[in-house]
Amino acid sequence: MRVRDSSKINKKSWLFVSLIGFVLTLAVFAAFIIFSARLTEFGITKSVYYFALLPAGLFTAAFLFGAMRSYAKYSGENRFGRLELTGPVVIFALVVIGGFVFAEPENTFALTVRISSEPDNEIITNGEIILDLGSQRLVRKIDSNGEVIFADLPSKFLKSEILINSRVEGYRTKSSKKIEIPKSRVIYLKLTEIKDSTIVRGTVIDLDGNLVAEASLNFNSGLAACTTDTEGNFTTTLPFSIGSSILLTVSNEGKVKFRDYITIPENQPLIIKLD
C-alpha cells in the first residue's frame, strides 16, 4: 500500500486555508471600497479601517509558515523581562501593533456647506459663509460650485451645535438657529432673497379737506392693505423700492373713491384726496 506524504497533505491544507483567507480579504476590502461613503457617514475612522488588514495578516501568516514552511523570530528586552516571539504570531503581532501605532484616530475633520436659494433651489456662487465654532469665528468665501469647505476642524466639535450665517448680497440665512453637524458632515444651507421694502405713510382726505377715518387702502390688488385711523392716517410696508409706481385703490363706506397709480416717495407722506 502506498503511503501518502503527510507533509504534502499539510502543505495543501495550508494552501487551501491561505486561499480562503485571501478571498475573504478581497471581499472585506471590496466592501470597504463600495460602501466607503456609508461608512464615513456612520463616523467610522481610519483606525477602524485598518482592521481590514487583519484577515490579510492571518492568511499571510498561514501561507508563509504553513505552505512555504518559512520561519520568523523576534526577540527583545524591556524592563519587564525578555520577550521572544516565533512563528506565525510574529506576523499577527506586527499587524495588530502596526494598526495602533500607524493608524492614529483622526483628530480633525472637514465640514462642507452647500449654499442654495429658496424656493427655486438655485446654487449661490458668491458671498461668504460665517461659522461660529466655540469661541472661534471662521469666514470662508463661497466657491464656483456653491460650496464652502471648512477643513481641519477639531473633532471635539463633531457632536456640538454650531451656528452658520451668510454674508451674501440680496440674501439672508433662512434660519439663525444652531444646528448639529450631520454624520455626512455636509450641511445644506438655504438662503432667502431679500426683497425691496419701503414704509409708506400718509393721510386720506375728502374733497373738502376733511380727514377720512376707516378708509380701506389696497395696494396693487391686495399685495398690501391697510386702514386709516380716526385721524385719517395710515402706515404700511410695501414690497417695492422707492420710486416704484403701483396701483392704489381706496374705498370708503362701501364705495371706491380713489383708484390711480402712485409713486412711492422717499420720505414724504402721501396725501390721498378722495373723489
Q: Which residue has the cell 472661534?
A: 136
What is 198-273's CATH topology?
Immunoglobulin-like (2.60.40)
CA distances from 53 to 49, 73, 93, 129, 247 (A): 8, 21, 12, 40, 75
Among 11-20, 74-83, 170-179, the range of highest mean pLDDT: 170-179
Lowest-pLDDT choice from 45-54, 155-164, 202-211: 45-54
Residue 107: its pLDDT value, please? 79
Q: pLDDT value at position 9?
A: 46
pLDDT digits (tens, 9 = 90+) for 50-106: 666 666 666 666 655 555 444 445 455 656 555 555 555 555 566 556 655 555 556
Domain ranges of the chain: 6-102, 108-193, 198-273
What is the reported pLDDT for 3?
47
User: What integer pLDDT is reported at residue 66 of this predicted model?
Assistant: 55
| pLDDT recorded at residue 155 | 85
Question: Which phi and psi (to 5°) does residue 193 adopt?
Answer: -75, 135
Spatial separation of the C-alpha atoms in residues 182 and 185, rounded to whole Å: 5
Residue-wise DSSP of 101-126 = HHSPPP-EEEEEEEEEEETT-PBP-S
Coil, helix or strand at residue 41: helix
Q: Does domain 108-193 have CATH number 2.30.30.90?
A: no
Residue 18 has pLDDT above 60, yes or no: yes
| Mean pLDDT over each residue of the chain, to the nearest integer | 78
Q: What is the separation of C-alpha 154 from the centre of its chain, rounded to a whole number of angstroms?
A: 16
Q: Is the pLDDT of residue 137 over 60?
A: yes
The answer to whether 108-193 and 198-273 have equal CATH topology is yes
- Range picked from 47-51, 76-80, 143-147 for highest mean pLDDT: 143-147
Q: How many CA atoms lie within 13 A of 194 on its CB side?
A: 9
